[in-house]
Amino acid sequence: MSVAVLTLIVLAGSYVAGLVGSLTGLGGGVVIIPLLTLLLNVNIHYAIGASLISVIATSSGSAAAYVKEGITNIRLGMFLEIATTIGAMAGAMLALHIQTSVIAVIFGLILIFSAFMSLKPKKEQIHEPKSLWAEKLKLNSSYPVNDQTVRYGVQNVGGGFLMMLFAGIISGLLGIGSGALKVVAMDGIMRIPFKVSTTTSNFMIGVTAAASAVVYLQRGYIDPGLSMPVVIGVLLGALTGSKILVNSSSSKGLRWVFAIIVTFLAGQMIYNGWNHRI
């Protein structure tokens, strides 16, 4: 297979990955890594490196829009980034010292969990400030809803911080944004409104991926020839997916279809990892 043909295949596959990731809310990395490892037989470490670069690119683009709209809790995101960055670097270093088959199995399990989380009904619950640490760190904030300002409080700061540490480890280990785990930390543990938790998670994902990417870059696992078509394809796919969601009245049905696809890919990763084919 020539380099030009391989590049076109990676570009087309990355476009599909970005589209699926956008529609399911899981990010393109959940499809990029199975695509590269299962179909193109790329070493999983190089696949993770390319995925991390695409995560940085997509997060940087979308996060800027959310910050401009005033939804993202920047102070909370920067505080939790302490945990995710430490975890991401630890996870990236750990990934270089464990078997690739083990990484594949863990990736599949996290993928199934993420697909399940993408289908859960989303509820906007506003909680009054009750955490002493949240008040001391000034994490409580507000966001605009229908030309009105809604204030909310942050709870269980310690629990959310520990969950973010775990999310960072998974991100560095698997090369994905771990958005589902970060939303669990903020929405489920810290009781932040869902819209704020998702946008703040998106704001954090790029920084987390950048911390992991440094380790992979130092070990030579980021190949520009592989990463470039991945980044372009994922960006274009994510843009298309966002337009489909805005114009579609049946986004829930689309999420179900693509969540099933993602679960199938997860099963393939677990099967191949369990049988040491990756």
Residue 61 confidence (pLDDT):
65
* Residue 197 near residue 126, CB atoms below 8 Å: no
* Residue 34 near residue 21, CB atoms below 8 Å: no
d(CA 166, CA 178): 10
Residue 82 confidence (pLDDT):
92
pTM above 0.75, yes or no: yes
Residue 245 confidence (pLDDT):
59
* Residue 94 near residue 216, CB atoms below 8 Å: no
Q: What is the pLDDT along the chain (278 residues), one digit of tens a residue?
A: 688 888 999 999 888 888 877 766 666 777 888 888 988 889 999 999 999 888 887 777 666 666 777 888 889 989 999 999 999 999 989 988 889 899 999 988 988 888 787 777 666 556 565 678 888 888 888 888 777 888 888 888 999 999 999 988 988 888 877 767 777 788 778 888 877 887 888 788 888 888 888 889 988 999 998 999 999 998 888 778 767 755 555 556 766 777 787 788 889 889 988 988 87
Residue 46 confidence (pLDDT):
92
Residue 240 confidence (pLDDT):
82
- Going from N- to C-terminal start, the domains of the chain cover 3-274
